[in-house]
């Protein structure tokens, strides 16, 4: 079953407490540490464009890539309202193509966890390396094995709103480190009736050591990693981790 099709229509409603502004400030601070204060920046797994819009507001020329056209349709609507000159591309992170290089590539909200095989990560990271300017920066986050196994694995999360609700059932495979979550969505139409949708998503948990390996296998230099929640060092109970890598081949 395709991911983020029906869920796209209610995605922003259920993500309204996501700290995109905080994430954006952190990303911008990191890019500025490497003197990237403007220019072309690519966001992988941009979804409905919430982060892309914030980065555009900071003065970056944004490109957003996502494989879910339904999510991009919402991003286009935001673009029309804001007026930002953002280029959105409906492409797979493992096969994306650009017209030229960019100063930085970013990916937040655990987008890379949707890549389930080692070779998927390496292929994606090789493309990132290929499209980065010399010494360009790759900033991304990922959910850890600990988060899926100990925090959300084999749990049921439900939320009820006036015009929509969802049930999120998690099933964690400890051998493959893959978390399956089955979404049941009830969305209210203008008629007042609710329609039921179902989607199944898969994400794989990774360790920092694995990410370091993928970065280096793609030809980039690993610069640093830190806990995305505390902004301190990565610990065995870190749930989301920020990674910063750099292009070094050109």
Sequential pLDDT tens for the chain (250 residues): 345 555 666 666 767 778 999 999 999 999 999 999 999 999 999 999 999 999 999 999 999 999 988 899 999 999 999 999 999 999 999 999 999 999 999 999 999 999 999 999 999 999 999 999 999 999 999 999 999 999 998 899 888 878 788 898 999 999 999 999 898 888 777 777 888 888 888 999 999 999 999 999 999 999 999 999 999 999 999 999 999 999 997 5
Task: Clarify whether residues 35 and 96 are in a common domain.
Answer: yes
State the pLDDT at residue 221: 97
Q: Within a domain: residue 3?
A: no
Q: Residue holding tokens 């540490």?
A: 33
Q: Within a domain: residue 65?
A: yes
Q: Within a domain: residue 152?
A: yes
Residue 231: exposed, middle, or buried by beta-carbon count in 10 A (0-12, 13-18, 19+)? exposed
State the Cα–Cα distance between residues 30 and 126, nearest whole angstrom.
21
Q: 113-117: long-range contacts (C-beta < 8 A, 24 or more apart)?
A: 113/142, 113/143, 113/203, 113/204, 113/205, 113/206, 114/3, 114/45, 114/201, 114/202, 114/203, 115/204, 116/178, 116/202, 116/203, 116/204
State the pLDDT at residue 185: 85
Local structure of 200: helix, strand or coil: strand
Fill in the DSSP letter of residue 206: B
CA 151 from centroid of its chain's CA atoms: 19
CA 37 from centroid of its chain's CA atoms: 22
State the pLDDT at residue 1: 36
Task: Clarify whether residues 104 and 181 are in a common domain.
Answer: no
Q: Are strands 102-107 and 132-143 parallel, antiparallel or unpaired?
A: parallel
Task: Clarify whether residues 140 and 170 are in a common domain.
Answer: no
Q: Within a domain: residue 158?
A: yes
Q: Within a domain: residue 38?
A: yes
Q: Which domain holds residue 117?
A: 8-144+205-247
Q: Give me the helix-helix angle, 50-57 and 69-82, nearest 10°.
A: 30
Task: Clarify whether residues 53 and 163 are in a common domain.
Answer: no
Structure tokens at 168: 């999120």
Q: Residue holding tokens 């050591």?
A: 209
Tell me the CATH number at 156.
Answer: 2.20.25.110
Task: Clarify whether residues 177 and 54 are in a common domain.
Answer: no
State the pLDDT at residue 142: 98
Task: Clarify whether residues 72 and 115 are in a common domain.
Answer: yes
Task: Clarify whether residues 118 and 234 are in a common domain.
Answer: yes
Residue that is last in its domain, among 170, 188, 204: 204
Instruction: For the chain, report the end-to-end CA distance as a whole number of angstroms.
Output: 40
74, 51 contact by CB (below 8 A): no
State the pLDDT at residue 194: 84
State the pLDDT at residue 5: 52
Q: Within a domain: residue 44?
A: yes
Q: Within a domain: residue 2?
A: no
Q: Give me the helix-helix angle, 20-33 and 50-57, nearest 10°.
A: 50
Task: Clarify whether residues 117 and 237 are in a common domain.
Answer: yes
Total domain count for the chain?
2
Q: How many CA atoms lie within 13 A of 153 on its CB side?
A: 19
Task: Clarify whether residues 70 and 103 are in a common domain.
Answer: yes
């Amino acid at each position: 079953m395709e991911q983020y099709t029906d869920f796209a229509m209610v995605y922003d409603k259920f993500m309204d407490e996501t700290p995109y502004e905080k994430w954006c400030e952190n990303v911008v601070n990191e890019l500025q540490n490497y003197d990237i204060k403007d220019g072309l920046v690519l966001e992988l797994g941009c979804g409905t464009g919430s982060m892309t819009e914030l980065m555009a507001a900071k003065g970056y020329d944004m490109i957003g890539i996502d494989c879910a056209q339904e999510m991009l349709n919402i991003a286009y609507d935001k673009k029309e309202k804001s007026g930002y000159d953002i280029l959105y591309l409906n492409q797979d992170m493992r096969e994306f193509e650009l017209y030229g290089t960019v100063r930085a590539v970013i990916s937040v909200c655990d987008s890379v966890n949707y890549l389930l095989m080692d070779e998927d990560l390496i292929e994606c990271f090789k493309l990132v390396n290929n499209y980065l300017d010399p010494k360009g920066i790759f900033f991304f986050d990922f959910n850890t094995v600990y988060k899926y196994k100990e925090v959300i694995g084999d749990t049921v999360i439900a939320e009820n709103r006036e015009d929509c609700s969802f049930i999120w059932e998690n099933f964690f495979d400890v051998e493959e480190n893959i978390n399956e979550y089955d979404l049941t969505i009830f969305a209210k139409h203008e008629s007042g009736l609710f329609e039921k949708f179902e989607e199944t998503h898969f994400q794989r948990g990774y360790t920092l050591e694995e990410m370091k390996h993928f970065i280096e296998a793609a030809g980039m230099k690993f610069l640093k990693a830190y806990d995305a929640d505390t902004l301190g060092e990565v610990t065995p109970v870190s749930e989301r981790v920020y990674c910063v890598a750099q292009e070094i081949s050109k």
